Amino acid sequence: MEHTDTPPALTTLAEDEVLLRDSVAEFAEAQIRPLVREMDEHATFPKELLAKLFDLGVMGIEIPEQYGGGGARFFHSVLAVEALSAVDPSVGVLVDVQNTLVVNALLRWGSDGIKQRYLTRLAADTVGAYALSEAGSGSDAFAMAARAVRDGDHYVINGRKLWITNGNEAGVFIVFANVKPDAGYRGITAFVVERGVTGFAVGKKEDKLGIRASSTCELILEDCRVHESQVLGEVGKGYKVAIETLNEGRIGIGAQMIGLAKGALGHAVQYAKERTQFGKAIAEFQLVQGQIARMATEVEAARLLVYNAARLRDAGRPFLTEAAMAKLYSSEVAERVTSLAINLYGGYGYVKDYPVEKLWRDAKIGQIYEGTSNMQLVTIAKQLLG
């Protein structure tokens, strides 16, 4: 079906979008800000905060109301991730993976039974995770070693997954394994696997540079038996599930990065007004003004790229190139803006008593996960050059 409707102006938010953005931002300041330092230092995500995110409704934004969700649009998820990430990108990415990867995959590819079983839980109290990467398959995602062998009305899965976001908190996992290795990527199949099933275990939790409160874990599958009804989509079509879902996920990471950069910019502006040198606020110096102006311009440009990709997706239009551009540029902007924020803080920016040091550490992952910057460049170039 061809869509000819024009997406709303990128910087114009509808009333419901403004309401969501503002309510999530208010929640982040009141409920997350006081916990950020402790969450980062101890690399933990409080269960109490997780429960509050479900109560807020941001864990099931796009889940239809019949399953207990918000019944909203993809763009609403982007706004929520952006608002959360301005305070703590670790919280932003947990909500992002839940919505743009797990929920979106189930909505698009899940059978009626899978939707009924899992969307209701994901809207109420269950975290989801997306298990594609392995030690030997990162950018080459389909070079996976995980195997699934048919055994009656079950599949037996063996393999290990690495770098799985939300691994520590998740109760439901979308796991990719190859049922026919001889067929290459055409044997890859997606399965919905529940935590606690025999043969499934969450392994090592990584000790990371940034987004430390967001768990990144190894998954271990040893003779893990999964019923055939748990296949997501069709057998052998897991590559399609992965590719199409990750295209949306990249927009979500873009939202995380612009939120992060916006947060750093806000801290820098406030500090420049308060910090005095040579008898006046450093905000009065032209060099400082120029740095802040450049930071603000780049954050706005990145936001427009992310919003454009999200609007195109909601309008049913092609958005592959726009999603790649949004992730590529927003992740680069996040690193530059947070670095400049540290410079403006001077020595104070280098210590953990002030917020910009953490945001700088958090920013680096944006150029790595859900498709490295090099992979985004390849995608953009292929689309342009045919």
Distance, CA of 135 to CA of 265 (rounded, Å): 36
Q: Which residues pair with 155 in a beta bridge?
A: 150, 226
What is the enclosing helix (H) or strand (E) of 41?
helix 36-42
Residues involved in catalysis:
370
Distance, CA of 291 to CA of 340 (rounded, Å): 8
pLDDT tens track for 46-102: 999 999 999 999 999 999 999 999 999 999 999 999 999 999 999 999 999 999 999
Say which CATH topology domain 240-385 has.
Butyryl-CoA Dehydrogenase, subunit A; domain 3 (1.20.140)
Distance, CA of 52 to CA of 134 (rounded, Å): 32
Instruction: State the Rg of the chain over Cα.
Output: 21
Q: Which amino acid belongs to residue 199?
A: G
Which letter does DSSP use for residue 206 in this model? P
Domain ranges of the chain: 15-127, 130-236, 240-385
Distance, CA of 320 to CA of 383 (rounded, Å): 8
Please state which CATH number belongs to domain 130-236.
Answer: 2.40.110.10
* Cβ–Cβ under 8 Å, residues 158 and 146: yes
Distance, CA of 61 to CA of 17 (rounded, Å): 12
pLDDT by residue for the chain (386 residues), tens digit each?
344 455 555 667 999 999 999 999 999 999 999 999 999 999 999 999 999 999 999 999 999 999 999 999 999 999 999 999 999 999 999 999 999 999 999 999 999 999 999 999 999 999 999 999 999 988 887 889 999 999 999 999 999 999 999 999 999 999 999 999 999 999 999 999 999 999 999 999 999 999 999 999 999 999 999 999 999 999 999 999 999 999 999 999 999 999 999 999 999 999 999 999 999 999 999 999 999 999 999 999 999 999 999 999 999 999 999 999 999 999 999 999 999 999 999 999 999 999 999 999 999 999 999 999 999 999 999 999 98
SS3 193: strand
Q: What's the pTM?
A: 0.95
Distance, CA of 10 to CA of 311 (rounded, Å): 8
Copy the structure tokens of residue 66: 């019949």
For the domain 15-127, what is the CATH superfamily, name and number? Acyl-CoA dehydrogenase/oxidase, N-terminal domain (1.10.540.10)
